[in-house]
Structures are given as C-alpha cells and as structure tokens.
Amino acid sequence: MRNELQTRLVRFAGGCIRVKKSLDSSFESYHLAKQLIRSSTSAALNYGEAQGTESKKDFIHKQSILLKELRETYINLLIIEDNNLSANPALIVSIVKECNELISIFVTSIQTARSKL
C-alpha cells in the first residue's frame, strides 16, 4: 500500500505539472501555477517524510501537513477550472478527481492513526 500511495502522489504531482503547462499566459495563471506546483509536490515529499517518522504523533503531524497541501492544491485546481484557465479541461477534471480521492485516503489514515494513539 505504501508504494502504491507514493506512486499515486508522484503521479499526481506530475499531473499538476501538466496542468501548469496547459495554463494560459495570464497573470492569474502564473500566480496559481507557482502555488499549484509547490503544494502538489509538497504533498508527495511530505509523504516520504511521514514514512520515516519515529513516533505516531510525528507520523500524524506529517500526514496532517500532507493533507493540508492536498486541500490547498484542490482549491487551486477548482479556481483554475472555474475560470477556464486551462487549454485542457479534461485534464483538470481528472486531476481534481484524483486529488479528492487522495484527500479521502489521508483523512482516513489520520483518523485511524489517531484512534491508535
């Protein structure tokens, strides 16, 4: 399961990079694109950090950061979608769906970890 989640997060970050490449050249797109790349790649990187934690509390903390970054990415994608900033709307729809699924996975993971404290 760990490798599957890592792979999904890495592919998700790659999908967000593809979204960035599909955006128009407006100021708004430029602003959102930079933040989209930061938050989506941060989620993948924080997953790696969570795997090396030494305590359950630290694990929960790292996953909470990861979840925060996914939620930020989700809202960013919705703004992009709502304002038709991408030349590839189907890509946005698929990446939004994946982001929502990842959020659900990590909400459940955090809840499970907290219940075991």
What's the start-to-end Cα distance of the chain, in Å?
21
Give the rounded percent of residues in the chain with a pLDDT score beyond 70: 99
For the domain covering 2-115, report its CATH number: 1.20.1440.60
Per-chain mean pLDDT for the chain: 96
Residue with tokens 């930020």: 72
Q: Where are the domains of the chain?
A: 2-115
What is the reported pLDDT for 2?
Answer: 74
Which pLDDT does position 117 carry in this prediction? 84
104 in Cβ contact with 61 (< 8 Å): no
Tell me the per-residue pLDDT of 36-77, one tens digit each, with 9 for 90 and over: 999 999 999 999 999 989 999 999 999 999 999 999 999 999
